[in-house]
């Protein structure tokens, strides 16, 4: 073999070596810092939309505003990369959207974040559960609490996707009955306002989000159990004075205590003020004034 042939062979080998290095390594063999499986799981039901958000907190790993990076998703069952060329799948920033969920999609998916010099990965589970009954309640339920005796609200967990979708609209259900605006409920988009919460307001609520994504109209929903807490924020009860007429002599000094009781557990946050009805003004808290109220004391 001549010298020119040897040089040509070395050049071919060097080019082949460079080609191997520049090719993206398979997930199983790539040296990435592994943050293992995320604690939080994503839940869905067949026929709806499911979303997985990359669990890696990139702002803690590097300066994501200044450092170029890319995100790749892998199916742990096959080790293959997921692309949005596949039917009914869309990759959107840190999220992967499954448009038409099936039981076969249940499994673990890994998010891989690569910068020019570093690589990080973390897996997240998608749990798909069949509906157990022909109603709107989903098998998995979150828990939210409201307080009795006051106006309170429930927040739809799907509100976190509002920036990712187009033309969003919400519907709220209690025990699968559609809620409309009335004296009790105000379904204000991603928030359900409940006026004068009563113990009867406890129960199962479902919010449904209808939206557009990639030119397709889609739906997803969440079910939550609402508990009514009647041990906190109870209405203060005025013990003294109560509908009494007090006579005093002109020129004499006068003092009257106001006693307010707040029953229940927790730390009460109550302010007590005296009002001069004839002038619709609050009585001064400056103890140097001739007519004043003293600071509130809690016992």
Chain segment 9-20, per-residue pLDDT in tens: 333 333 333 222
DSSP 3-state of 161: helix
CATH number at residue 212: 2.60.40.10
**Assigned domain for 72 exists:** yes
pLDDT number for residue 30: 63
Q: Which of 128, 163, 186 is the last residue of a domain?
A: 128
Smallest CA-to-CA distance from 204 within 231, 240, 176 is with 176
**Assigned domain for 193 exists:** yes
Same domain, 224 and 241: no
Taking residues 22-29, report their average pLDDT. 44
- Cα separation, 155 vs 54, in Å, equals 23
Same domain, 32 and 123: yes
- Cα separation, 91 vs 73, in Å, equals 9
User: Which residue range forms the structural domain that includes residue 69?
Assistant: 28-128
Tens of pLDDT, residues 74-90 = 999 888 999 877 678 89
Same domain, 44 and 94: yes
Same domain, 60 and 110: yes
Domain count, the chain: 3
Taking residues 35-58, report their average pLDDT. 91
Same domain, 246 and 294: yes
Do 138 and 206 touch, CB atoms closer than 8 A?
Answer: yes
Q: Which of 229, 251, 278 is the last residue of a domain?
A: 229
pLDDT number for residue 64: 85
DSSP tag of 293: -
Same domain, 107 and 150: no
pLDDT number for residue 195: 92
**Assigned domain for 216 exists:** yes
**Assigned domain for 7 exists:** no
Cα torsion angle, 117, 119, 120, 125, sign: positive
Do 48 and 221 touch, CB atoms closer than 8 A?
Answer: yes
Cα→Cα distances 128→30, 79, 106, 252, Å: 29, 20, 5, 78
**Assigned domain for 5 exists:** no
Among 188-192, 231-235, 258-262, the range of highest mean pLDDT:
188-192
Token pair for 23: 């090719």
Round to the nearest angstrom and report the end-to-end CA distance of the chain: 103
> pTM for this one?
0.65
- Cα separation, 95 vs 52, in Å, equals 6
Task: Check residues 111 and 92 and name the one with the higher pLDDT.
Answer: 111
**Assigned domain for 9 exists:** no
pLDDT number for residue 14: 31
- Least-confidence region, from 25-29, 37-41, 51-55, 214-218: 25-29
What is the Cβ-side half-sphere exposure of residue 192, based on CA atoms within 13 angstroms? Answer: 27
Q: Which of 128, 156, 183 is the last residue of a domain?
A: 128
Smallest CA-to-CA distance from 180 within 172, 169, 191 is with 172
**Assigned domain for 88 exists:** yes
Same domain, 153 and 193: yes
Same domain, 110 and 147: no
Q: Which helix (H) or strand (E) holds 227?
A: strand 216-229
Do 227 and 202 touch, CB atoms closer than 8 A?
Answer: yes
Token pair for 198: 């009563």
Same domain, 66 and 119: yes
């Amino acid at each position: 073999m001549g010298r020119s042939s040897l040089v040509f062979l070395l050049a071919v080998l060097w080019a082949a070596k460079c080609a191997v290095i520049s090719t993206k390594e398979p997930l199983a063999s790539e040296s990435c810092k592994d943050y293992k499986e995320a604690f939080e799981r994503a839940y869905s039901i067949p026929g709806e939309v499911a979303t997985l958000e990359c669990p890696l907190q990139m702002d803690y790993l590097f300066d994501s505003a200044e450092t170029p990076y890319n995100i790749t998703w892998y199916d742990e069952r096959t080790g293959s990369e997921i692309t949005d060329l596949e039917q009914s799948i869309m990759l959107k920033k840190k999220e992967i959207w499954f448009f038409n969920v099936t039981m076969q999609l249940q499994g673990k998916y890994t998010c891989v974040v690569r910068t020019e010099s570093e690589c990080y990965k973390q897996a997240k589970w998608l749990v798909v559960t069949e509906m157990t009954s022909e109603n709107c309640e989903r098998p998995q339920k979150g828990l939210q609490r409201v307080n009795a005796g006051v106006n309170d609200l429930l927040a739809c967990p799907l509100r976190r996707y509002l920036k990712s979708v187009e033309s969003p609209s919400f519907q709220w259900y209690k025990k699968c009955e559609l809620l409309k605006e009335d004296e009790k409920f105000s379904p204000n988009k991603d928030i359900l306002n409940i006026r004068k919460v009563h113990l009867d307001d406890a129960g199962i609520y479902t919010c449904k989000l209808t939206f557009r994504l990639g030119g397709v109209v889609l739906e997803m929903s969440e079910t939550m159990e609402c508990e009514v807490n009647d041990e906190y924020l109870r209405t203060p009860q005025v013990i003294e004075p109560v509908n009494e007429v007090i006579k005093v002599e002109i020129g004499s000094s006068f003092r009257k205590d106001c006693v307010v009781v707040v029953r229940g557990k927790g730390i009460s946050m109550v302010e007590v003020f005296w009002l001069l009805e004839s002038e619709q003004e609050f009585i001064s808290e400056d103890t140097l004034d001739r007519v004043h109220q003293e600071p509130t004391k809690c016992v």
